[in-house]
């Protein structure tokens, strides 16, 4: 299945994050993060992967930049580690930490790859985490200070910025369910963590602009919520889940309102003033998409979900496994048309308020070490679905696949491999997979479409399953 042509100037990129790749957790003055402390607890990282080493990106970033250059990638979305730059979370700046990102940015620029840093990809400085983390309003102000510090140093060379990544996952997995750092199990009492991350985003937008940064976006996770069953309880469960995961974050950023007055009432104030900050205009908006979620009425028992974490009993909704689709290594269903669905939904919901989009993450975990044809099929399917959304009127300017290399998949450790490039965790040797060559050829063909319109990357086998495997379609939530 050839991927359709994208408009000239469309940005082709790859994504990664600091905790998942850098290692060097206490090198050159870096302070510990909440994730460093969480990962050090016995049994938290499933396969015992060494998160203190990760992929060794801190020492080997030049190799990875060369791999990006080899791809012909336009841009690299990496994250800046807050505790590497401000080890205490506030106060003294670690010059060596800042120098690392300075060198990385220079290396990317020297290879013609646009640096697109994310300022927060979940690694809160430990002293702030211990003082309450995102439950504490002060964390938002400390984040904005740090954002300004990074921008002061890098804005002269960085033309694209991302404030925070997936506050929904931090709130749900980190503060509500305790599956991720900081391991809190507050259920609905976790909601202030959502508000303070949103506030941190808004304050950071201000701080970035004040420091001369431009072209600012955010990376929020979005997935269509499909309703399981026909009962009112199923519908209400799906609607609540949809509100909590999709609109709780997007509505404040894009409209300056919370989607639900009852939820707004649970947020720490001054909510109305904060919403003005949170809804500061953005230049673009990033969507991380993996798969839809099937949700219905509450379940009487706890459930181990397909993502490997446990949803406790007693929640007002119940997540169900999506049947009838090919599954990735993680057990996530492969549903490319879910990307078209969520993008057109965002377009309908926000209209003119929706800035141009970038897909800031999309990819799949597979066990195949190098012959990862299923990843190629996955990417073909999702890029085709993305193009369909654009044909339907959604303004999308770029696509960052997750991820450039295999990396530490949070609590899943080294077991879930999302990379175009294989990492041998013993030697840290990088070996490009079949999908790397495929993506390189795709980018080349897309960029040379005017000169050679017939050129398209080929693969050996027809795409299997990715776009055609749909069985039962469930009603939209």
Tell me, yes or no, if 361 is annotated catalytic: yes
The residue (of 169 and 274) whose beta carbon lies closer to ligand FCB is 169
Rounded Cα distance, 36 and 79, in Å: 16
Among 35, 402, 425, 439, binds ligand FCB (CB under 6 A): 402
**How far, CA to CA in Å, does 121 sit from each of 103, 118, 376, 423?**
20, 7, 26, 21
As measured in angstroms, the least distance from the Cβ of 475 to ligand FCB is: 26
The set of residues, in sequence order, having a beta carbon less than 8 Å from that of 317 and lying 6+ positions away, is 236, 237, 238, 240, 241, 295, 296, 297, 298
328 lies in the site for ligand FCB, by CB under 6 A: no
Tell me, yes or no, if 166 is annotated catalytic: yes
Rounded Cα distance, 112 and 73, in Å: 9
Catalytic residue among 166, 179, 380, 412: 166
The residue (of 120 and 284) whose beta carbon lies closer to ligand FCB is 120
Return contacts of 445-449, CB within 8 angstroms, 24+ apart: 446/5, 446/6, 446/10, 446/12, 447/12, 447/72, 449/5, 449/8
Among 10, 61, 378, 410, binds ligand FCB (CB under 6 A): 410
Rounded Cα distance, 45 and 194, in Å: 25
17 lies in the site for ligand FCB, by CB under 6 A: yes
Among 51, 165, 362, 411, binds ligand FCB (CB under 6 A): 165
246 lies in the site for ligand FCB, by CB under 6 A: no
380 lies in the site for ligand FCB, by CB under 6 A: no
As measured in angstroms, the least distance from the Cβ of 447 to ligand FCB is: 27
Count of residues engaged in binding ligand FCB, rule: CB under 6 A: 12
Rounded Cα distance, 171 and 191, in Å: 7
State both tokens at 45: 């990282």
Among 64, 107, 169, 337, binds ligand FCB (CB under 6 A): 169
The CA-based angle 171-173-175, given to 5 degrees, is 50
Sign of CA dihedral 87, 90, 95, 100: positive
Closest residue to ligand FCB, Cβ-based?
A: 166
Q: Which stretch binds ligand FCB (CB under 6 A): 5-13, 192-200, 402-410, 456-464?
A: 402-410
409 lies in the site for ligand FCB, by CB under 6 A: yes
The residue (of 64 and 234) whose beta carbon lies closer to ligand FCB is 64
As measured in angstroms, the least distance from the Cβ of 232 to ligand FCB is: 31
Phi-psi group of 285: left, alpha or beta (phi > 0 → left; psi -120 to 50 → alpha; rest → beta)? beta
Q: Which residues bind ligand FCB (CB under 6 A)?
A: 17, 20, 165-166, 169, 221, 288, 361, 402, 409-410, 418
Residues designated catalytic? 166, 361
């Amino acid at each position: 299945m050839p991927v359709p042509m994208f408009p000239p100037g469309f940005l082709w990129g790859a994504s990664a994050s600091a905790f998942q790749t850098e290692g060097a957790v206490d090198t050159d003055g870096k302070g510990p993060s909440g994730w460093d402390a969480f990962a050090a607890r016995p049994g938290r990282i499933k396969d015992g992967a060494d998160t203190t080493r990760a992929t060794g990106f801190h020492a080997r970033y030049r190799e990875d930049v060369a791999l990006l250059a080899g791809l012909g990638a336009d841009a690299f979305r990496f994250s800046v580690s807050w505790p590497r730059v401000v080890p205490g979370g506030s106060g003294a700046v670690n010059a060596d930490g800042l120098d690392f990102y300075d060198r990385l940015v220079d290396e990317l620029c020297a290879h013609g790859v646009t640096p697109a840093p994310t300022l927060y990809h979940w690694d809160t400085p430990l002293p702030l985490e211990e003082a309450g983390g995102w439950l504490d309003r002060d964390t938002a102000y400390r984040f904005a200070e740090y954002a300004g510090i990074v921008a002061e140093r890098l804005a002269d060379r960085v033309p694209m910025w991302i404030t925070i990544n997936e506050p929904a996952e931090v709130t749900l997995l980190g503060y509500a369910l305790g599956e991720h750092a900081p391991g809190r199990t507050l259920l609905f009492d976790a909601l202030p963590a959502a508000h303070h991350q949103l506030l941190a985003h808004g304050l950071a937008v201000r701080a970035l602009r004040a420091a001369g940064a431009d072209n600012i976006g955010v990376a929020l996770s979005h997935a269509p919520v499909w309703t399981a069953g026909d009962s009112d309880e199923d519908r209400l469960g799906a609607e609540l889940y949809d509100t909590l995961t999709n609109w709780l974050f997007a509505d404040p950023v894009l409209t300056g309102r919370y989607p639900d007055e009852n939820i707004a009432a649970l947020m720490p104030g001054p909510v109305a003033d904060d919403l003005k900050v949170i809804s500061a205009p953005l230049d673009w908006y990033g969507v991380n998409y993996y798969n839809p979620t099937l949700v219905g009425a509450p379940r009487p028992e706890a459930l181990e979900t397909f993502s490997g974490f446990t949803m406790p009993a007693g929640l007002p909704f119940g997540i169900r496994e999506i049947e009838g689709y090919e599954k990735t290594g993680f057990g996530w269903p492969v549903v490319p048309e879910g990307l078209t669905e969520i993008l057109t939904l965002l377009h309908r919901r926000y209209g003119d308020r929706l800035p141009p989009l970038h897909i800031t993450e999309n990819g799949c975990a597979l066990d195949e070490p190098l012959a990862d044809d299923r990843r190629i099929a996955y990417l073909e399917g999702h890029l085709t679905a993305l193009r369909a959304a654009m044909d339907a009127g959604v303004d999308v300017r770029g696509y960052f696949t997750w991820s450039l290399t295999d990396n530490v998949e949070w609590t899943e450790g080294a077991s879930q491999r999302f990379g175009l490039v294989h990492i041998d965790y013993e030697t840290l040797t990088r070996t490009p997979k079949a999908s790397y060559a495929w993506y390189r050829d795709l980018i080349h063909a897309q960029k040379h479409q005017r000169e050679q319109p017939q050129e398209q990357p080929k693969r050996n086998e027809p795409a299997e399953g990715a776009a055609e495997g749909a069985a039962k379609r469930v009603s939209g939530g």
